[in-house]
Amino acid sequence: MEAQVIQPELTSRSQRPIVELLSLALPTIAQMASYTVMQFADTLQLAIGAGDVAATAAGMAGFMVFAVQAWAFGALMCVNTLVSQSVGAGQQRDCGRFMWQGIWFGLIAGLMLIPSMVLVAPVMRALGHSPELVAAGKTYYDIEVMALPVRLAGMAVGQFLLAIGRPGITLMAALCAVSVDIVANYLVITGRYGFPKMGIAGAAWSTNAAVCLEAGIVCCFAFSLTIRKLYHTTEWRIHWASLVQLVRIGVPAGLQVVSEVVAWLLFCVWIMNGFGQATVTANNYMMQYMKLSFMPAFGLSAAVTALVGRYIGMGRLDLARRRAHLGFFVAMGYMICCGIVFVLGRHHLIGLFSDDADVIRIGALLLLFAGVYQLFDAMYIIYIGALRGAGDTHVPAWATASLCWVIVVGLGAGLTFYVPQFGPTGPWLAACLYGIIVGTFLVVRFTRGEWRSIVSGNAEQGFPVVTDPKAALSNVAAT
């Protein structure tokens, strides 16, 4: 009977699915892409104002910061899953409680990661980088890692706001953060208008200031009177059952993220280093463009996670499936356009960062591979988000992480050190092979519907289910 009550309203809502998806996705994309845009701005402004070494160090150190927090980043994305399913099931009180478990998780994880700064210099030296690059990278890393507790706690709040259908708040916060970062970089990297010349340290402090501002804005809205009353966001105490639930589905997702990020970090700073500093620099600049393509897609993936979770919470698995496929077609269109730009404008794009002929030549070559990679990256990003929304995190996590290490790191390193005549083409062929295999695997897994067996066991697994159809419908209408 509950399904019969929900059916008519959902049918009317599903008449304009693209509007529903994009209204949530576009602000989500801005929120998810904000840190990437800040990293891009840091690298570009350092390349112009401080040279290739500072820009390369910032890119590498920023990647390392993301690598150490990636497990927490992946886990906190599941705040979106749990809150979305609670919204769909009409269980408003659970929403604020899940948000707070994410905040506590983020604060603790961030504090645990601060001591990692002692490992940065030894790791970079072990990977064969120059003393100058190591010193600059450590400076950037040490400053940025201090903001991790705020960044991760703010992410939990941002995922909560996305799940309850308040993406405009995250959009505003992201735009403010990016603006502050760019302006602050302009003032302190080279020292303008009386500000001190801080170089790479200034870029890192600018990013931290922007991250804190973004977290502060989303928190102000999450604890506003309307949201506080509707979703009980003042329930700040640790709720062990909810925290365990977040950890149970979040940790596999987090381990999948960190495993892949670390694999790609080794690919960029170790495997590419086998071909010399010019290749490392060119690959760093190329990756800045790759981030601009895949991080907005991750924002779209977060929207797909929210919609899949919400419709599963309502018992509408058919609509959950359709929103996932729609998200893929939107992401595919965007990322293929990015690929075309990468291929056609490859020399000019790298030339924005450097005037070194070797860097431009190698970077232009690597952008060809980036262009090919786009379609399969869209498959991976969207369907991993759809599976996360359904609570299917274990098998995708193990499969994608294993494939990444075997193909990207293992095969990539083998081609680099045993068939060096291929140059950077060899490891990037391995990377493209990984993209093809993992993208296809995730599409097949979602389409075959193994996640349906997880949904059918929601009561045993602890996921929200529809207990109040009227409340579920009113919440969806409100969001």
**75-84, 419-428, 452-461: segment of lowest average pLDDT:** 452-461
Candidate ranges 212-226, 383-397, 430-444; pick with highest mean pLDDT: 430-444
Output the CA–CA distances (angstroms, integers) from residue 266 to 7, 86, 255, 380, 411, in the order listed: 49, 39, 16, 20, 13
Q: Is the pLDDT of residue 308 over 80?
A: yes
Closest listed residue to residue 386, CA positions, set 310, 293, 295: 310
Q: Is residue 477 part of a domain?
A: no
The reported pLDDT for the residue numbered 344 is: 94
Closest listed residue to residue 213, CA positions, set 182, 181, 166: 181
Q: Is residue 479 part of a domain?
A: no
> pLDDT tens digits for 163-177?
787 777 887 888 888
Of all residues in the chain, what percent carry a pLDDT higher than 90? 22
Domain count, the chain: 1
Q: Is the pLDDT of residue 112 over 80?
A: yes
C-alpha to C-alpha distance for 222 and 340, rounded to whole angstroms: 40
CA dihedral in degrees (40, 42, 48, 52; nearest 10)?
-90
Helix axes 17-49, 167-188, angle to 10 degrees: 10
pTM over 0.75: no
Cβ neighbour number for residue 122 with a 10 Å cutoff = 11
Q: Is the pLDDT of residue 102 over 80?
A: yes
Q: Is residue 367 part of a domain?
A: yes
Reported as a pLDDT band with limits 50, 70 and 90, residue 478 is very low
The reported pLDDT for the residue numbered 343 is: 94
Q: Tokens representing 84? A: 């979305």
C-alpha to C-alpha distance for 286 and 200, rounded to whole angstroms: 20
Q: Is residue 470 part of a domain?
A: no
Q: Is the pLDDT of residue 331 over 70?
A: yes
Q: Is residue 1 part of a domain?
A: no
Q: Is the pLDDT of residue 426 over 90?
A: yes
Q: Is the pLDDT of residue 280 over 80?
A: yes
Reported as a pLDDT band with limits 50, 70 and 90, residue 460 is very low
Q: Is residue 259 part of a domain?
A: yes
Output the CA–CA distances (angstroms, integers) from residue 443 to 51, 196, 264, in the order listed: 42, 51, 22
Of all residues in the chain, what percent carry a pLDDT higher than 70? 87
Q: Tokens representing 179? A: 């603006």
Mean local confidence (pLDDT), 100-104: 88
Output 143 or 229, whichever has higher pLDDT.
Answer: 143
Look over the chain and give the mean of its residue pLDDT values, rounded to a whole number.
81
Q: Is the pLDDT of residue 212 over 80?
A: yes
Q: Is residue 202 part of a domain?
A: yes
Domain that holds residue 99: 14-462
What is 317-346 written as a DSSP string? HHHHHHHHHHHHHHHHHHHHHHHHHHHHTH
**64-78, 139-153, 173-187, 188-202: segment of lowest average pLDDT:** 64-78
Mean local confidence (pLDDT), 302-331: 85
Output 390 or 36, whichever has higher pLDDT.
Answer: 390
The reported pLDDT for the residue numbered 288 is: 82
Candidate ranges 50-54, 273-277, 283-287, 406-410; pick with highest mean pLDDT: 406-410
Cβ neighbour number for residue 449 with a 10 Å cutoff = 13
Q: Tokens representing 175? A: 């735009």
Candidate ranges 73-77, 93-97, 321-325, 475-479; pick with highest mean pLDDT: 321-325
Q: Is residue 271 part of a domain?
A: yes
Instruction: Give the residue ranges of DSSP H helices in 127-166.
Output: 131-145, 148-163
Mean local confidence (pLDDT), 413-436: 92
